[in-house]
Amino acid sequence: MGSQNRQLRVVLYQPEIPQNTGNIARTCAATHIPLHLIEPLGFQLSDRHLKRAGLDYWPHVELHVHRSFEEFLETINPSRCILYSTRGTVYYDEISYKPGDCLVFGSETQGLPGELIFSGNYTVAYIPIDRSKVRSLNLSTAVGIALFEALRQIGQLRAKAY
């Protein structure tokens, strides 16, 4: 497996809110993690809110756009995809993250489709919160929590610090 397949990736499945995607892009730029977007997107990549949320970090984001999740899988051939959902069955911090993992997050209003979550092909993780008060975390917050846990476990946080 080449070094490209050993890199963590963040994957957003049909994101809808440009500000969230911009914030996630900024996090990806800060951590040198590629960002993959699965169409359809709820915005144009030229959206001013997307650009504003990502500030001047867009040139430092390795951005890939895929027409479908199937195309993403065919193109990247990831070693493992970990899905994040309020319907997950494993705490996000109980997963043993590995280089090459793809961290997959659903859209802000629909989440991930049931056919992915219940396919049996993926680990489906969740971030515990008090669901009696809040349905879910903001997408960019959830990505940050999961990504930094994965980076911590595989030892990339300190290695990339400046």
Per-residue pLDDT of the chain (162 residues), as tens digits, is 344 567 899 999 999 998 899 999 999 999 999 999 999 998 887 767 666 655 577 788 899 999 999 999 999 999 999 999 999 999 999 999 999 999 999 999 999 999 999 999 999 999 999 989 888 899 999 999 999 999 999 987 765 554
- Answer whether 68's CB lies under 8 Å from 89's CB: no
What percent of the chain is helix, strand and coil (3-state, nearest 5)? 40, 20, 40
Residue-wise pLDDT for 69-101, tens only, equals 999 999 999 999 999 999 999 999 999 999 999
Buried/exposed 143-158: b ≥16 CB within 10 Å, e otherwise: bbebbebbbeebebee
> Is 3-160 a domain of CATH 3.30.2010.30?
no
In this prediction, residue 43 carries a pLDDT of 82
What single-letter amino acid sits at 147? L
Domain boundary assignment for the chain: 3-160
- Name 83's bridge partners: 104, 124
Residue 4: left if φ>0, alpha if ψ -120 to 50, beta else—which one?
alpha
